[in-house]
Structure 1
Amino acid sequence: MLETATNKPPVDPQIEEEKSTPLFSEVWKSFRKNKLALIGALIVIFLILLAFTASFFAPEGINEQKLSMRLQPPSADHWFGTDDFGRDILSRVMYGARISLRVGFIAVMGSIIIGTLLGILAGYYGKVVDMIISRIFDILLAFPSILLAIAIVAILGPSLRNALIAIAIVNVPNFGRLIRSKVLSLKEEEYVVAAKSIGMKDSRILFHHILPNSLAPIIVQGTLSIATAILEAAALGFLGMGAQAPEPEWGRMLSDSREYIQDAPWTVIFPGVAIMLTVLGFNLLGDGLRDALDPRMKH
């Protein structure tokens, strides 16, 4: 009798392995099959390492002027050439990676926090709360993002910090509307209805049940938005409303070198290529994460 009670039906090893496979492993397995996504990840990793190690590997100081060496073409001494003040462009591009990535990550993090909070409140409570927050999103989206960013910086004053604030504000509706739509579907799920029925507080439902199940689209949108934020920061810097001289921000470097585009094209080419590769890397990474995290994209 004891032997019968302890007997268990055989378990298929393949089924048991599938049950025990962590979500991260599944996402990574899907992600690494996407070659373009891996290229994007490598570009992003390279840029992050470049930003962290600029102090050690930059050939010269970012503001070290050698007027006798101004506008020198690329050579063994200056791989990317020099600008109109004789400063080493390679060093400035390396330090520029630090500025651009900082702007991208901090601005997007601010957008995620504010947009997610507003989106959760709008989607969960609905009615008047939803109407007010949705109208705020509509007003912000009624303006082209770069024009709205320019207007905000014009009010606050031109600086890298104010450009960062402006970029964060213009990207809030993207996350807010994304999370709102996700919450509208999640709040009808059985586990949320059950949590409400037992009297669980709204704050616990929102931050322990709904928010964790909304992280996948936030991660994807956040990665893609970093590319957009870096591009907007470069545009503001080019217009003189972002980073101010002598900061080695890529957009500012393009603005300072535009009058030498014919005589010294390398002063424009290398900062421009840096912007292009950075935006490309984050876009490829974001597309790969979207395909890996969205079950509907799996074949």
Structure 2
Amino acid sequence: MSQSVQNGAAKDLVKEKGPLASALTDFWRAFRKNKPAIVGAGIVLFFIVLAVFARFIAPQGINDQNINIRLEPPSAQHWLGTDDFGRDIFSRIVFGAQLSLRVGFLAVIGSIIFGTLLGVIAGYFGKFIDTVISRFFDILLAFPSILLSIAIVSVLGPSLNNALVAIAIVNVPVFGRLVRSRVLTVKEEEYIVAARSIGMGNTRIIFNHILPNSFAPVIVQGTLNIATAILDAAGLGFLGMGAQPPQPEWGTMLSASRQYITNAPWTVLFPGLAIVLVVVGFNLMGDGLRDALDPRMKN
């Protein structure tokens, strides 16, 4: 009898896992057909590997200076040349990947957490709460993102961590409005009405039904916003309001080298190329995720 019960439980477990495995298989099948998305994912993976293994990949330390080889062009010794302090640009770009990806991921994660929380509250409970939260989103969206980021960093003080906080705050309404619109649709579905009718609490309904059915577009938007966050961090670094020297953040490297653009263009070219590649990679991957997760894009 015990053996029969165990077999029945095992069969139930297989049935529960079946739809998830099928959904993942369908997602991967749709995603891999999108060649630009695969290229984007490859670029992102490349920079993640650089960031994770920077200590082993970089041939020199980020602040190892040798004034005798300052502004040296790319060579076998220094693959991407040296900057005005004789520091190896390749090593600084590799370690800069850690800073840029950290800002991108942490800023977006923070935006998703607070934006989702506010969006769910506004969309699910509605009425006065919805009005207050929606007007808060409108106020934040009324300012250009880079100007609002500059204003926040001006109050907090220029640093990479404060730039991260500013970028996270600026992106909260993006996710908040996205989640709110999804919640407004999902909460009117029949299974939500049925859950309320049997006495299920609001917390269980939100976490068991609302959020799981509203999170796919958040994943797509989050991937796209990582690129935006990295770009904003580079912009703040270029203006001197983000990472501070001698941190090897790509925007800060551009700012420090802009005066050498005519006689040592490699000091500007390679940090700028790193920014372009990682932003393009996240955008291509985000487009692929959107196409793979959106049922309207499927045949």
- CA distance in 1 between partners of 2:215 and 2:116 (Å): 10
Q: Map Cα deviations across residues 210-268 of structure 1 (whole Å, 9 max, x no partner).
A: 00111210110000000000000000000000000000000000000000010100000
Specify the alignment match of 1:138 in structure 2. 138
- CA distance in 2 between partners of 1:45 and 1:89 (Å): 21
- CA distance in 2 between partners of 1:208 and 1:20 (Å): 15
- CA distance in 1 between partners of 2:20 and 2:71 (Å): 61
Matched to 1:263, the amino acid is N
- CA distance in 2 between partners of 1:69 and 1:207 (Å): 59
2:170 corresponds to 1:167: no
1:20 offset after TM fit, Å? 8.7
Specify the alignment match of 1:121 in structure 2. 121
- Equivalent residue of 1:100, what SS? helix
Map residues 250-269 of structure 1 onto 2, 5 A cutoff: 250-269=250-269
CA pair 20-212 structure 1, distance change in 2 beyond 3 A: closer
CA pair 182-264 structure 1, distance change in 2 beyond 3 A: same
CA pair 74-114 structure 1, distance change in 2 beyond 3 A: same
Specify the alignment match of 1:97 in structure 2. 97
CA pair 149-20 structure 1, distance change in 2 beyond 3 A: closer
- CA distance in 2 between partners of 1:136 and 1:57 (Å): 45
- CA distance in 1 between partners of 2:57 and 2:294 (Å): 39
- Equivalent residue of 2:83, what SS? coil
1:182 offset after TM fit, Å? 0.1
Specify the alignment match of 1:150 in structure 2. 150
- Equivalent residue of 1:214, what SS? coil
- CA distance in 2 between partners of 1:19 and 1:193 (Å): 23
Map residues 149-228 of structure 1 onto 2, 5 A cutoff: 149-228=149-228
- CA distance in 2 between partners of 1:147 and 1:203 (Å): 37
1:201 offset after TM fit, Å? 1.0
**TM-score, normalised to structure 2's length?**
0.93
- CA distance in 2 between partners of 1:204 and 1:236 (Å): 41
1:297 offset after TM fit, Å? 1.0
- CA distance in 2 between partners of 1:95 and 1:208 (Å): 41
Q: Map Cα deviations across residues 250-299 of structure 1 (whole Å, 9 max, x no partner).
A: 00000000000101000000000000000000000000000000011113
- CA distance in 1 between partners of 2:197 and 2:113 (Å): 29
Specify the alignment match of 1:9 in structure 2. none
1:199 offset after TM fit, Å? 1.4
Specify the alignment match of 1:81 in structure 2. 81
2:15 corresponds to 1:54: no
- Equivalent residue of 1:60, what SS? coil
- CA distance in 1 between partners of 2:284 and 2:256 (Å): 30
Specify the alignment match of 1:4 in structure 2. none
Q: What 5-or-longer segments of structure 1 have no aligned partner?
A: 1-17
Matched to 2:139, the amino acid is I
Q: Map Cα deviations across residues 150-170 of structure 1 (whole Å, 9 max, x no partner).
A: 000000000000000000000
- CA distance in 2 between partners of 1:56 and 1:33 (Å): 34
- CA distance in 1 between partners of 2:161 and 2:199 (Å): 44
- CA distance in 2 between partners of 1:19 and 1:289 (Å): 19
Residue correspondences, number: 282
Q: Map Cα deviations across residues 56-85 of structure 1 (whole Å, 9 max, x no partner).
A: 010100000000010000001001000000
- CA distance in 2 between partners of 1:214 and 1:95 (Å): 36
Question: Moved runs in structure 1, 4+ residues, more than 2 A?
Answer: 18-21
- CA distance in 1 between partners of 2:205 and 2:33 (Å): 36
Specify the alignment match of 1:40 in structure 2. 40
Report the identity percentage: 70
- CA distance in 1 between partners of 2:128 and 2:197 (Å): 23
- CA distance in 1 between partners of 2:146 and 2:190 (Å): 42
- CA distance in 1 between partners of 2:247 and 2:21 (Å): 48
Q: What 5-or-longer segments of structure 2 have no aligned partner?
A: 1-17
- CA distance in 2 between partners of 1:204 and 1:81 (Å): 57
- CA distance in 1 between partners of 2:61 and 2:28 (Å): 40
Q: Map Cα deviations across residues 12-44 of structure 1 (whole Å, 9 max, x no partner).
A: xxxxxx979610000000000000000000001
